[in-house]
Structure 1
Amino acid sequence: MMITSEQKIAIYAKAIEGLLTLEPNIDKHIKYIDFVDIYTGLSDAKRRQYESRYPKESTAMTELAERLRSEGIQQGMQKGRQEGRQEGRQEGRQEGEQTLLRKQLERRFGALDADADERLQQATTDELERWAENLLDAQSLTEVFGEE
């Protein structure tokens, strides 16, 4: 059965009207709107025709889209803050481990040369932990860094 583009607009309008009338849960609107959009496949031009012919439904959909966009922005900001705090804690731990290991190495072996200092600056957390353990038995910086 071939559906004309005019019929698609009417089908879309009835689907949206039914959704807004029958489904009180706004969160479910998202799920069903996606289905209706995919099923009807309205072009941008046909969507504009729909908006002009069915302003009430179109306004309701625009308000829903704005709400979702606002919620998405808020969720994104919250997630960004959470990731930022986590990253900051990780960086702080790593800097603390670098500082502590540097002090221990200097106390045991004297001032560090530029190469050793650079290695500490570029080290991963795993490397810092391994070197800290190596320091307990090492007789030289070379042994600490596991080069022997």
Structure 2
Amino acid sequence: MQGIYENVKIIGIFCRYGIQQSVDNNGTFYYRPIVYMRNCKNLNNIDLKLPEYLLFNLTKGFKGLGVLNPGTKLEIHCRRYLKEKRNDGYGYPTNIVIANNRPAFPDDPNVLAGMIMVKNQGNPEAENDPINTDLVEIYKNWLKSKA
């Protein structure tokens, strides 16, 4: 694929692996592993409507994440070819990472200590860690205020 392109960042959900059959110039068939992504958004232009699925070659960047489970949210830097209207207008995926939707750590040290105490409950490796019920209660109240 050649032409004018822009570098964009896509976020989407891994759907499945697939195979595309192609034919080279000699008429020989070959199979190319691909990645199906759905619910994709172009973070550079969120108003741009994308197709239901985007397909990417199964590159080293995807392989470096290990075998993905369907539903994994990924962030991908890639090229968007400006003259293409079809699904293959996106290509050359790089900097592929699992999107980080995890909450940030609390800023308040008492809330943070309470959070760690709650998360370690039932963990035999943390049975000797101190537990302060006041800090646990502070953390639970902080959670309620965030909801």
TM-score in same-fold range (> 0.5): no
How high is the TM-score relative to the length of structure 2?
A: 0.20
Q: Which has the higher contact order (CA 8 A, sep 6+)?
A: 2
Rg bigger for which structure? 1
Which protein is richer in strand relative to its size? Answer: 2
Q: TM-score, normalised by structure 1?
A: 0.20
**Bigger helix share:** 1
